[in-house]
Amino acid sequence: MKKISLTLILLFVSFTGSYFLVDDRKAEAANQAKASCQGCHADFTKVLPKEHPPVTENDLSACTSCHTPELAGKAVKNAFSRRMHLAHILPSGKQDCTTCHIWVPGKSFGIKGVKGSLGTPSKEDVAMMQEIFASWGASNFTDNLHAKANIGCTGCHGKTLPKADDTVENGRCLVCHGPMEKLAQKTEPKDFKDRNPHKSHLGDIACKVCHGSHKASKVYCLDCHKKFDMKIQGAGATKQ
């Protein structure tokens, strides 16, 4: 009796074992199919913008042949990059970068089918980027105002992939928003001309003191001047 139940248990264990193995393989195959563009887009023509030139192949290299990636880190707009990232950001923020990127943690982070690497991010670095991508895609902060204007991470952070404690100097912002005098002219209030956020007794201070890129912006002047009526873009909470 004892012997029979033992055999039964053994049989059961080996059966469920191989069952899970088959299940694992199926899941892996499904993941691989999903990881290529085709897993989700049987036909690209449906998702490409109207009037777009025809694309015959079905992986990322079909795109990068014309949309040569910008690896130099210039402060420019890139509508292709913006739409590719924005369309694939999951609400959870956990989108899989490796659908399109080849990533060896701590060693390289490239673009499939393209030579060169954007940096050497660790697992923690990529987790942080994923979180910030979600903010860039859907927050009410300055990062989302830039996503809408076709400006990605590179536009502000330059050539190297951003990581913890990185910042962006005023000079980089002013490549697009400067010179400072012109910016100050734009924001000079009509009624109280000296209540100008960009020209005050504070002198030159970091843009990020008021403009939070991945967090809410706030008007620092109001810390001391409670009665000034000043508003700032990107001050909202996260979108519902």
Between residues 22 and 164, which has the closer beta carbon with respect to ligand HEC?
A: 164
Smallest gap from residue 122 Cβ to ligand HEC (A)? 12
Closest CA to 53 of 72, 27, 80: 80
CA–CA gap between residue 4 and residue 10 (Å, rounded): 10
Q: How far is the CB of 46 from ligand HEC (least distance, A)?
A: 8
**CA-based R_g, the chain, Å:** 25
The nearest distance, CB 25 to ligand HEC, in angstroms, is: 20
CB closer to ligand HEC, 16 vs 187: 187
Task: Kindly tell me which of 9 and 205 has the beta carbon lying closer to ligand HEC.
Answer: 205
Nearer to ligand HEC (CB atom), residue 21 or residue 83: 83
| Neighbour-count burial of 14, counting CB atoms closer than 10 A to its CB (0-12 exposed, 13-18 middle, 19+ buried) | exposed
Whole-number minimum distance, CB 78 to ligand HEC, in Å?
5
String of DSSP letters for 61-80: HHHHTTS----S--S---HH
Tokens 């409670």 belong to residue: 226
C-alpha separations of 69 from 44, 88, 114, 214 in Å? 20, 18, 8, 25
Report the C-alpha gap between 120 and 106 in whole angstroms: 5
**What CA dihedral angle connects 221, 201, 199 and 227, to 10 degrees?**
30
For residue 31, how many C-alpha atoms fall within 13 Å in the half-sphere facing its CB? Answer: 8
Closer of 120 and 170 to ligand HEC (Cβ): 170
- 144, 140, 124, 133: which is closest to 95 by C-alpha? 133
By beta-carbon proximity to ligand HEC, the closer residue of 25 and 83 is 83
Least distance to ligand HEC from the beta carbon of 21, Å?
25
Of 5 and 130, the one with the shorter C-beta distance to ligand HEC is: 130
